[in-house]
Structure 1
Amino acid sequence: MLHDPPKTGTSERSSETTRLQTGALLIIAFAVVLFLLVQARFVLISLATAIILFSLTSDVINFIARQRIGPFRVPNTLASIAAMVLIAAALLTLTSILLAQINTVLVTTLSYAERAPSAVASLFAWLGEDSELAILNALRSVNVSNYLRGAASQASGVTQATVLIILFVGFLFAERIWFETKLLSLVGDKAQAERVGKIIQSIIHRVNYYLLVKTVISAITGAMIFVLAQAFGLELATSLGIITFVLNFIPNIGSIVATALIALVAHVEIGDSTTTLAVFSIAGVIQFVNGSIIDPMLMGRALRLSSFGIILSLAFWGAVWGIPGMFLSVPIMVMLLVVCSHVPNLRPFAVLLSREGLPESEKMLDQPIERDLFGQDSKRD
């Protein structure tokens, strides 16, 4: 009996067509998501910040709820309200301080506008007189007032974002008590819902720990830069300390910008190359010790992210959301690392995102639930 030969060519063409269609759909989906991320950036940045602040206060709420006033225990509702009031007060205070320092920097920059080009151009005197003159002419052609107006208009949006973040956090607190019920209804399986809840708790714990360590290191670095600026008699010592504190939340690039900024201010104010070099060197040593030695030592292996992955995340979210995206890049990367660690098909991405190729294991999944940032048992009654 004769048999028809298998139609391998047709099946191969069909499989290739399916792969092309899948690839095209993925590209279209990525383009649509990217478009939505850019167009709704203000709301999404505020929402992402609110979620991070909400997760950051989860341990605070549990800590307050465990406290006792005599024989009485603080109700969870009262603890949530207290945490909400603390968040609102802290955000409004930080916003007012930041806007005041931005205003100080802008006003001072206007007073430096005339002598700054000459001071900066003098840094390139070693290239020759012609090069120094060309750089001086280029700097003088820059309209500083336009840039300052743009910076002032962006700074005014900080207050609006703060109010929106407070509203988002308030609604998240209102939904907090129903989260486990919603998660169970969404997943449908109790065991799977508990596993998803543990993954979420792991994300919250690791992001909180990252922010806690980063805040402490950034505060110490900012204080040391303030002392350094004061020692050299710089007019913007307070502003430089606060700006250094804020910039250090941007991985890698923030510390470089902060170091270059204090050196530039020192050169414009003092005008002596030797002093500028001394300020630059001391600030560089401070940033290196705090950022490259103390910071990784405190972070521990659980948060040892790939340096190349951090740069990619920084570049992507910086391009999509600008400077706020740079601040959020590492928390987003931590979230992706934890999620990819517990999804079998995505675990290779977790290996790439981790520094030593050792992402979180299933055994580590239970650890964040046992203790909070205050070192106390989160399950204790």
Structure 2
Amino acid sequence: MTEPRNLAPLWILAFAALVWVLQSAATVIAPVAGAFFVVALAWPLQSRLQRFLPKLAALAMVVCIIAFAFLAFAFITSWGFGRVVRSTVADIGRFQLLYGQLVAWLEGHGVEVGGLWTEHFNAGSILRMLQGVTLRLNTMFSFWVVVIVYVLLGLLDTETVGRNARKALSPKAAAVLIDGSALTAAKLRHYMLVRTLMSLATGLMVWVLATAFGLRFAAEWGAIAFALNYIPFIGPFVATLLPTLYALAQFGSPQSALLIFAGLNVIQFIIGSYIEPRVAGYALAITPFVVLFSVFFWSFIWGVFGAFIGVPITIAILTYCAQSPSTRWVAELLGSPTSSSKEQPK
């Protein structure tokens, strides 16, 4: 019989194999994960509409609402990034000149900028980064079309899967699967509601701050902050860094840029560190380390989409772990409250 301590290499190999499979089959698995996430959000609406509409009519209405939400989000994000990128391209010479002045100012104040930093972090690299973000947003459109097709099939089969689970599994296993799925879906809906409200608040406050300072593209910066706030940690950091760099180019003053940077960070701190944890409640009762690890791990696996869906996947895993006494310790260790297993889905 293999001793427990000798199982560690096997667990490491299994984890490495899982990562390889998730990366290699990303074009297949990632849309399915996105579809499960959307189905969890949309099923209550589908269920309510089916009470007074034919199933297919209710499904068509829900899919139209989902498609409209995707298109609206894509339009807002592309509009914000597109306007800023076009302006940056038009003024690239001025940005490069101001970057050189910034390097001279930093070195004049005792901050040495190394050759590697100067070579790679310049106006050209910033421009390429912005263009890369815009390109990724465009390519993700086809990805979400595939997701909507999976969502269509998932909403059709949700009730059937539940009935089949009760027939194929033992009562205890079926209860864990069905109750865990219902509770996970409730938590994900709560998570997205909180994230959307906080993103709207962040975008609005960024717009107000940019307008107050006279920063160009104030509305666009608000739209960018709204979109990026859906990605914890990384999104707010980028949404703070980009307007700061643009402010440096517009005003030509490091002091003004630092003042805007400080104001943006105050907004992110108040909303992200004070308001959101109190509003989120049990749905986000996981440690900040686990949240950050989820974002970086799933972004490594699936890129931008992985960064977006990393925290929901972690919420789902911890919720399922909390359903069984043998795995409840995982949920408790990583910050999910033990009472989560007793909470009723909303």
TM range (shorter): 0.7 to 0.9
CA deviation profile, 1:166-216 (whole Å, cap 9, x unmatched): 1111111221231222212331x3454234211110000001101101101
The residue aligned with 1:62 is: 47
Flag the 1:192–1:238 CA change in 2: closer, same or farther, 3 A.
same
Q: Aligned match of 2:158 in 176, 179, 197? A: 176
Change in 2 beyond 3 A, CA 1:143/1:306: closer
2:35 to 30, 34, 50: 50
Distance 1:328 1:231 in 2: 34
Return closer, same or farther for 1:223/1:43 CA change in 2, 3 Å cut-off.
Answer: farther
In 2, Cα distance between equivalents of 1:289 and 1:223:
14
Instruction: Sort the Cα spacing of 1:152 and 1:213 in 2 relative to 1 into closer, same or farther, 3 A.
Output: closer
Unaligned runs of 5+ in 2: none
Task: Tell me by how many angstroms 1:344 deviates.
Answer: 2.0
- Report the more deviating stretch, 304-313 or 136-145: 136-145
1:335 and 1:248 map into 2 onto residues whose CA distance is: 20
- Paired residues for 1:217-296 under 5 Å: 217-296=198-277
1:1-381 aligned within 5 A: 15=2, 20=6, 22-65=7-50, 73-124=52-103, 125-128=105-108, 131=112, 139=121, 142=124, 150-187=132-169, 189-190=170-171, 192-354=173-335, 358-364=337-343, 367-368=344-345, 372=346
State the 1:133 CA deviation: 9.5
Closer/same/farther in 2, CA of residues 296 and 162 from structure 1, 3 Å limit: same
Listed one character per residue, the Cα deviations across residues 276-334 of structure 1 (whole Å, up to 9, x for unaligned) are: 23322222221111111110111114532111111222221122222221111110111
Q: 1:153 to 1:252 in 2, by over 3 A?
A: closer
Q: Deviation of residue 15 (structure 1)? A: 4.2
2:35·2:148 contact (CA, 8 Å) conserved in 1?
yes
Distance, in Å, in 2 between the alignment partners of 1:212 and 1:306 is 20
Cα distance in 2, alignment partners of residues 149 and 252 from structure 1: 21
Per the normalisation by structure 1, the TM-score is 0.80
Q: CA RMSD in A?
A: 2.8
What is the one-letter code of the residue matched to 1:107? R
CA distance in structure 1 between the aligned counterparts of 2:261 and 2:123, rounded to whole angstroms? 27
1:121·1:136 contact (CA, 8 Å) conserved in 2?
A: no
Amino acid at match of 1:285: V
Aligned partners of 1:231, 1:122: CA distance in 2, in Å? 26
Kept in 1, the 8 Å contact 2:85–2:127? The answer is no
Q: Percent identity?
A: 29
**Alignment-mate amino acid for residue 13 of structure 2:** I
Equivalents in 1 of 2:120, 2:166: separation in Å? Answer: 63
Letter in 2 for 1:79: A
The alpha carbon displacement at 1:271 in A equals 1.5
* Aligned equivalents of 1:137, 1:129: Cα separation in 2: 20
CA distance in 1, matches of 2:114, 2:5: 58
Moved more, 142-151 or 177-186: 142-151
Secondary structure class of the residue paired with 1:181: helix
SS of 2:326's equivalent?
A: helix
Q: Would the alpha carbon gap of residues 320 and 247 (structure 1) be closer, same or farther in structure 2, given more than 3 Å must change?
A: same
Q: Name the aligned partner's letter for residue 44 of structure 1.
A: I
CA gap of 1:261–1:184, structure 2 versus 1, over 3 A, is same
CA contact (8 A) 1:302 1:360 kept: no
Deviates more, 1:256-265 or 1:228-237: 228-237
Structure 1 pair 45/101, CA: closer, same or farther in 2 (3 Å)? farther
By how many angstroms is 1:43 displaced? 3.1
CA distance in 1, matches of 2:330, 2:297: 16
Q: Deviations over 1:151-178 (max 9, x none)?
A: 4543331221121111111111221231
Write the distance in 2 (CA, Å) between the matches of 1:94 and 1:149. Answer: 18
How far apart are the structure 1 equivalents of 2:106 and 2:70? Answer: 47
CA distance in structure 1 between the aligned counterparts of 2:248 and 2:145, rounded to whole angstroms: 38
2:190–2:283 CA contact under 8 A, matched in 1: no
Whether contact under 8 Å (1:60, 1:83) holds in the other structure is: yes
Q: What letter corresponds to residue 49 of structure 1 in structure 2?
A: G
After superposition, what is the alpha-carbon deviation per residue over 1:343-366, rounded to whole angstroms, capped at 9, x for unaligned? 2222221112116xx3345432xx
